[in-house]
Amino acid sequence: MKRKKLYIGKYIPMILLLISLLALGSIWMFTREKRDEAKLLDTLETLAEDLSKNPNESAAAALIKVKSAASAFAYPADIAMGKYVAGSYDEEKMLASIGRYRSFIKTAKISVNDPEIVTIQENYAQIIFSGKFSGTTKNSLSETVINDVTVDFIRLNGQWKIKSARFSQVLH
C-alpha cells in the first residue's frame, strides 16, 4: 500500500495570514491602554482650554467653549469644589454654571499639571492631577488657586466622559 505524501505548501498562506492576524490583534490589545490614556489626558486638556478665557474672546467663541466644556461630562455629574461648587449637575445646570463662571471673569488660564492615571479599566478610569487657575475678575481682582483634583471617568458610547471631579485645596 502506497502512502500518500502530505503537502503543506498550499496551507502556508493561510497559516501566515492567521499568524499575522494574531500578531495584529495582540498589538491592538496591548496598545489600547495607551490610546485610552491619550484620550483621557486629551479630554482634560481640552476642558482646561475651554474653561480658560482671554479678554478678546468673541461671544461666539465663548458659546462654543461653554458647549464644548459641558460635553466633557457624563450626566448627572458630581462636582465637589469646596465653597464654589458642590453637588450633582445635569446638562442644563452645567451649561448655566459654566456660562455664569465665564461671565464673571475677564481672563482665566487653567492648566493640568502632573496628571497621573491611578486606574484604567474597560469602562472606568481615575486621574489625579494638580490643577491651577490664574485669572482676573471683571472688577479686577486677581486670583491664583492650586488644587489637587481627582477625576473619575466612565466610557459612554466609546468616549471617555467625566462622571465626578473632587477638588482639594493645596497650601500655597
- What distances in angstroms separate CA 73 from CA 2, 7, 22, 76, 135, one per listed residue? 73, 60, 36, 8, 23
Q: What confidence score (pLDDT) does residue 1 get?
A: 60
In a domain, 22, yes or no: no
Q: What confidence score (pLDDT) does residue 23 get?
A: 79
pTM: 0.80
In a domain, 14, yes or no: no
89 membership: H or E segment, kind and range: strand 85-89
Q: What confidence score (pLDDT) does residue 170 get?
A: 80
Does residue 31 register a pLDDT over 80? no
18 and 82 in contact (C-beta within 8 Å)?
no
Query: HEC profile for 100-166?
Result: HHHHHEEEEEEEEEEEEEEEECCCEEEEEEEEEEEEEECCCCEEEEEEEEEEEEEEECCEEEEEEEE
In a domain, 12, yes or no: no
Interval 75-115: pLDDT, tens: 999 999 887 788 999 999 999 999 999 999 999 999 999 99
Range of the domain at 147: 36-169
d(CA 52, CA 9): 64
In a domain, 47, yes or no: yes
37 membership: H or E segment, kind and range: helix 12-51
Does residue 172 register a pLDDT over 60? no
Q: How many residues does the chain have?
A: 172
In a domain, 108, yes or no: yes
CATH of the domain at 107: 3.10.450.50
Interval 48-64: pLDDT, tens: 999 999 988 998 999 99
In a domain, 20, yes or no: no
Q: How many domains, the chain?
A: 1
Does residue 25 register a pLDDT over 90? no
Q: What are phi and psi of 62, to 5 degrees?
A: -65, -45
In a domain, 158, yes or no: yes
In a domain, 50, yes or no: yes
